[in-house]
Each structure stands twice: as structure tokens, then as C-alpha cells.
Amino acid sequence: MDIFYDFDGTLFDTYPAMVAALVQTAVDYQIKIDRNQAYQQMRQGSLGDAIKVLARIAKIESTTIECHFRAIENEELKNSRPFEGVKATLESVVNHGGKNYLLTHRNQAAITLLEKFEMKTWFEDFVTGNMTFPRKPNPASLNYLIERNQANKKTAYMIGDRNLDIDAAHNADIKGILFDPDQIINVTSHPELITNNFKDIQTYLDKKLINP
């Protein structure tokens, strides 16, 4: 069985770092934003959407806002940790003969965190931000990993925290698991499993791995 994972908000709880960086960016440009609204915009939409809103208010290019944001975020990310149960799930997949794969828009920061928590060795392959694939729900990055590693689509799953992760999975003709830790997603993507914890994911996958 081949399991594909999103990074932010799925493997690692990086949203506190992202929200803190966005709020500080807004302060630096003398813009007032609500921390909770910023978080919900990222979870239900995307970070890119939040940055575009700031850029529109500040009347400058979104690339300028993003560069400022990334400089702050790089420091904030150092304190991010994996969600409870992630490490056990990754290990269980491998121990049952399955393989784990990562899809993330991040570059070295994601790999550094995986190494910090001794999780990198549980991954068979990666797509990171230095590879110019279109963003999800376009399935191009997912299809690349599937084809490169000859994954079996019939038993493959994508795990992510937003509808676009599940939509990408279905667009690639594989199944999707929605991890919604605070249960704020308006689910429109028809995932095969919805849960707010990785214990449920591990139990679900273990059953599939034992009886595919």
C-alpha cells in the first residue's frame, strides 16, 4: 500500500507558525488582521489566498508580502512539531510492508523538520517546492510520485487537511483521507475517511494493510 501525505497541517502542526508570521507581516505593513480569521482562511482556503488579501490591502505586489512573510516564518517553523500519532502511523505503514511519500510546497524546511524528529527515513520519495508542479488539486505532483514509484492506485491513499488534498487524490484516481484536527472544514471533497486524529488513521490503514 502506498500512502501520500501533505505536510503543513497534516504531518506537522505548522499553522501556529504560519499564522504568527502572517500576523507579524501585517503589523509590519500597518495592517490589522484577526488571528483566528487568518487561520481559518489558511485552513479552508490557502496561505496564498491570505497573502493576496494582505497585498491587496497594502497595495503592493503579493510577491513582496510573501518574501517578508517567509523570512519571519522560517524562524517560527523551528518550533513546529508533528501531530500526535503521526510517527506511529508512518512506522506502522512501513512495518506492514507499505510505503510513505511526501508532497509539500516547502523546500528544505520540511526535510529539516523530518530529520529533526527522525522521520525522514520512513519516506520512500518526496515532491518538494523546488519542483515546479502546479498546486493541488491539480494531480500532477501526485501522478509524478505514483508513476515514478510504480504505486498501485487501487490501494493508494492521500492524507491531507483540506478539501484540495482529497480532490487531488481523486483527480489522480486514488482514495483520500481528510485529517481535520479542529473540525472546521466544510467537507465538499467526499473523502473515504474523515477524522480529527491519527490514531483513527493508523487503525484504518492497518486494517487495509493486513486485508488489502
Rounded average pLDDT per 10-residue block, the chain, 212 residues: 97 96 95 90 87 92 94 94 98 95 92 96 94 92 97 97 96 98 96 98 90 66
Same domain? 21 vs 6:
no
CB within 8 A of 163, min separation 6: which ones? 137, 178, 185, 186, 187, 188, 189
Same domain? 7 vs 58:
no
Distance separating alpha carbons of residues 74 and 174, to the nearest angstrom: 33
Q: Which helix (H) or strand (E) holds 14?
A: none
User: Of 76, 108, 129, which marks where a domain is finished?
Assistant: 76
SS3 88: helix
Same domain? 55 vs 117:
no
Same domain? 89 vs 68:
no
| Count of domains forming the chain | 2
Same domain? 160 vs 112:
yes
Same domain? 98 vs 160:
yes
Contact 191, 41 (CB under 8 A): no
Q: Residue 23 belongs to what domain range?
A: 13-76
Distance separating alpha carbons of residues 181 and 198, to the nearest angstrom: 9
User: Of 55, 76, 97, which marks where a domain is finished?
Assistant: 76
User: Of 53, 76, 99, which marks where a domain is finished?
Assistant: 76
Closest CA to 106 of 18, 189, 35: 18
Same domain? 59 vs 153:
no
Closest CA to 101 of 152, 31, 35: 152
SS3 62: helix
Same domain? 138 vs 151:
yes
Same domain? 25 vs 44:
yes
Looking at residue 212, its pLDDT comes to: 61
Q: How many residues does the chain have?
A: 212
Same domain? 5 vs 17:
no
Distance separating alpha carbons of residues 206 and 212, to the nearest angstrom: 9
* Helix, strand, coil distribution of the chain in percent, nearest 5: 50, 15, 35
Same domain? 67 vs 19:
yes
Residue 158 has which C-alpha cell?
Answer: 492521500
Cα first-last separation, the chain: 8
Looking at residue 82, its pLDDT comes to: 98
Give the CATH number, domain containing residue 105: 3.40.50.1000
Measuring CA to CA, how many Å separate 157 from each of 29, 37, 76, 98, 165?
41, 30, 30, 11, 11
Same domain? 19 vs 7:
no
Average pLDDT, the chain: 94
Give the CATH number, domain containing residue 39: 1.10.150
Looking at residue 44, its pLDDT comes to: 86
Looking at residue 108, its pLDDT comes to: 86
